[in-house]
């Protein structure tokens, strides 16, 4: 597709015949999303210079060690993040993926984002590799607590059932990914006809291995990103730009295609 300004994407953007044909034939489409998908909503990355919160880096707050050492500090940080995230809205990328879910026989989102924006937008099949900031649980008995219950309590929230410490249901540094979410993600990657990696740097493992897994099992691999990543050279198609514009243009193109004769690999060859 070559280089062009991300701003060049409009609802009339051109997509390759190969990509449109693969999507027209696809029964199972998987979208794999990262921070870039939430960026347009204004979700702060908590990385880099603006990631410093009270002189602490995320690595120093998002771990079990940090939590056991100073639960009040870690909770102050999460209360701040929870309020920020509750105040923002899903964007065009999230909406486009909701529409895609309605277009294909099978569709799944695998997300590394914890902001819950896919579900808030209306997506149904969402595998959350790094947890969900709207959920919490007791580290002693596992009882879940809503954000409302947690934020109502001053200081460090406690479990009403056993008095144990309550933590956010997000994956911290040094922790394993939730097994059920990972297993479901691997199954989806291995069954996908088209796998679209969107707004993810492709460097956080094991999540970053999913696109390659999909490709090895025969999926057509698409990457949507403002900049090339380590995944780009393996992608069958690289769509360069911010995801909101590209994904809404793609969905508009697919919807338009539904009214015309179906585009298939065969019709391209003939
Ligand atoms: Zn408990």
Dump pLDDT digits (tens) for 83-96: 989 999 999 999 99
| Pairing label, strands 220-225, 194-198 | parallel
Mean pLDDT rounded to a whole number for the chain? 88
C-alpha 141 to ligand 1 mean position (Å): 4
Tell me the pLDDT band of 6, cut-offs 50, 70 and 90.
very low
Helix (H, G, I), strand (E, B) or coil at 184: helix
Residue 262: the pLDDT is 44
C-alpha 99 to ligand 1 mean position (Å): 39
Count of Cβ atoms closer than 10 Å to residue 263 Cβ: 16
Gyration radius of the chain over CA positions = 20
Residue 205: the pLDDT is 85
Q: pLDDT tens across 127-159, in order?
A: 999 999 999 999 999 999 999 999 898 889 999
Residue 10: the pLDDT is 47
Q: pLDDT tens across 20-78, in order?
A: 999 999 999 999 999 999 999 987 665 555 566 667 777 788 999 999 999 999 999 99
Contact criterion met (CB below 8 Å) for 132 and 107: no
Residue 8: the pLDDT is 44
Tell me the pLDDT band of 214, cut-offs 50, 70 and 90.
very high
C-alpha 51 to ligand 1 mean position (Å): 31
Residue 125: the pLDDT is 98
Q: Which residue reads 């008995």 in tokens?
A: 141
Mean pLDDT of 94-105: 97
C-alpha 13 to ligand 1 mean position (Å): 52
C-alpha 25 to ligand 1 mean position (Å): 49
Q: What residues are labeled active site?
A: 130
Residue 52: the pLDDT is 63
C-alpha 160 to ligand 1 mean position (Å): 7
State the first-to-last Cα distance of the chain, in angstroms, to the nearest integer.
Answer: 23
Q: Which residue reads 């701040």 in tokens?
A: 80
C-alpha 183 to ligand 1 mean position (Å): 27
Token pair listed for 265: 């690999």
Residue 60: the pLDDT is 83
C-alpha 185 to ligand 1 mean position (Å): 29
Q: Residues for the chain: how many in total? A: 270
């Amino acid at each position: 597709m070559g280089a062009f300004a991300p701003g060049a994407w409009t609802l009339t953007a051109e997509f390759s015949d190969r990509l449109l044909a693969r999507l027209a034939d696809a029964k199972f489409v998987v979208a794999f999303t990262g921070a870039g998908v939430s960026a347009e909503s204004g979700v702060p990355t908590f990385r880099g210079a603006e990631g410093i919160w009270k002189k602490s880096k995320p690595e120093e707050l998002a771990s079990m060690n940090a939590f056991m050492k100073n639960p009040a500090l870690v909770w102050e940080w999460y209360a701040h993040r929870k309020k920020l995230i509750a105040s923002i809205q899903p964007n065009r990328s999230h909406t486009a993926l909701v529409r895609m879910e309605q277009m294909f026989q099978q569709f799944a989102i695998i997300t590394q984002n914890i902001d819950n924006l896919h579900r808030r937008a209306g997506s149904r099949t969402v595998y959350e590799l790094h947890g969900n900031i709207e959920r919490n649980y007791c580290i002693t008995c596992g009882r879940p607590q809503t954000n409302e219950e947690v934020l109502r309590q001053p200081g460090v929230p406690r479990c009403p059932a056993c008095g144990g410490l309550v933590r956010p249901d997000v994956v911290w540094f040094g922790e394993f990914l939730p097994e059920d979410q990972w297993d479901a993600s691997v199954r989806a990657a291995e069954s996908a006809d088209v796998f679209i990696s969107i707004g993810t740097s492709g460097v956080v493992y094991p999540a970053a291995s999913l696109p390659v897994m999909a490709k090895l099992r025969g999926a057509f691999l698409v990457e949507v990103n403002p900049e090339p990543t380590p995944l780009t050279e393996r992608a069958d198609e690289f769509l360069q730009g911010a995801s909101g514009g590209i994904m809404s243009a793609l969905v508009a193109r697919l919807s338009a295609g539904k009214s015309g004769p179906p585009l298939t690999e065969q019709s391209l060859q003939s």
